[in-house]
Homo-oligomer: A and B are copies of this chain.
Amino acid sequence: MKTNEKRTSIRDIAEKAGVSTSLVSYVLNGKGKEHRVSEEMAEKVLLVAKQLNYHPNMAARSLRTGKTKTLGLIVADISNPFFAKLARRIENIAWEKGYQVIFGSSDESKDKFEKLTSVFIEKQVDGMIVTPPADCHEHIMQFVNRSIPVVMVDRHIDGLPVSSVQVDNMGATYALTSHLLQMGHRKIALLAYDMKLSNIEGRYQGYRKALKNNGIPSSEEIVYSVLFKDFDKTVSEALKKILAQKVDAIVFATNQVATQSLITMSHMKKLPAKLSLVSVDRPEFRLSNIPVMYVEQPLAELGEKALEILFRQIKETKKQVVEQITLHADWKKILSSQDMSDMAEHQAIREAAGSDEF
């Protein structure tokens, strides 16, 4: 194995085997039979290809076929564990189907999102999975206009001819809030995220619906929403305002909001004696003496369903059916941050673990 100067091409194989390049191409693509290439020739070609350690040039192939076997994935932030896991699931499934994935983090910015769309379009991705930031209609339409299949995941944007997969967000916060009400709490705050995002909006609605159904008047003074910009700071400020109002409980709309809130609390000297916390998705941080209850989004299914739809759209180049799917998870399964067995494989579902003793 010596240092080659030039990459070996299909032409090199053709010459060495004494055949035409098309013959080689047919064989290498497994279309030998189909194009009546003799058994012996096929073997010879394959042998030579192996000898020369041939690897196809995808750029050339893509140029010719118009397909890249590459998928684009735009998430808000790949270093957020929620998206990291989603990405990993998607990467794995795609891999099995012979596709690679290019990632990009939008940081919830429509400008960054736009730049990402440009890059992905230029890279000729065969399909896109996106968690769209607010106000990015037009950029998503860039894909649609070029008939690049897109599936929105986690959130969706109305009025676009684009498929989407999301969870029943309203159900999640409805279950969590109801649970708090059942525990006897009455003054329940909501600490949300960008309300422009469909999933957050849904979680807000679930929270309100639960209150309404139980005859509790909802007060806008204990509902806060924060943005991606200055996230840590604004979460901390909102939290402090909420705590100042002596609430019984807080509903965190996302694990990121919950995490940052817990970190903030860990710096405080005093915390309300009785305060219940619930969150959508497990916070990454936990306080030693305040348990956080949470429901978990079916992350794997989210990715699987999205890819299923995407691959279907990639196949069917003709009529594109827009599918809007809402996964209905069992939000009754409320987990607790103090119950540590859920970390292993998320199987254990105990209600309130008291296993603080060692």
Contacts and interface: CB of A to CB of B under 8 A. Distances in A.
A29 to B, nearest CB: 14
A59 interface: yes
Given A58-B123, A102-B100, A267 B81 contact: no
A147 interface: yes
Given A4-B145, A78-B88, A59 B358 contact: no
Interface string A84-120: 1101100100000000111111000000000000110
Interface stretch (A171-179, A268-276, A306-314): A268-276
A340 B263 contact: yes
* A interface bracket (residues with beta carbon within 8 Å of B): 35 or more
A357 interface: yes
B68 A59 contact: yes
B340 A285 contact: yes
Contact of A358 (B101, B271, B341): B271
A39 interface: no
A54 to B, nearest CB: 10
Contacts of A271: 358
Contacts of A124: 57-59
Contacts of A59: 58-60, 62-63, 68, 124
Interface string A136-148: 0000010011110
Nearest to A271: B358
A99 B146 CA distance: 23
A344 interface: yes
Interface string A42-55: 00000000000001
Contacts of A5: 147
Nearest to A270: B358
Contact of A269 (B63, B68, B121, B357): B357
Contacts of A123: 58, 70, 100
Nearest to A62: B59
Q: Name which of A124, A144, A232 has the most chain B CB atoms within 10 A of its CB.
A: A124
A79 B88 contact: yes
A85 B81 CA distance: 10
Contacts of A88: 77-79, 105
A146 B57 contact: no
Nearest to A265: B358
B288 A55 contact: no
Contacts of A323: none
A56 B63 CA distance: 12
Interface of A: 1-5, 7, 55-60, 62-63, 68, 70, 77-79, 81, 84-85, 87-88, 91, 100-105, 118-119, 121-124, 141, 144-147, 232, 263, 265-271, 284-289, 340-341, 343-344, 355-358
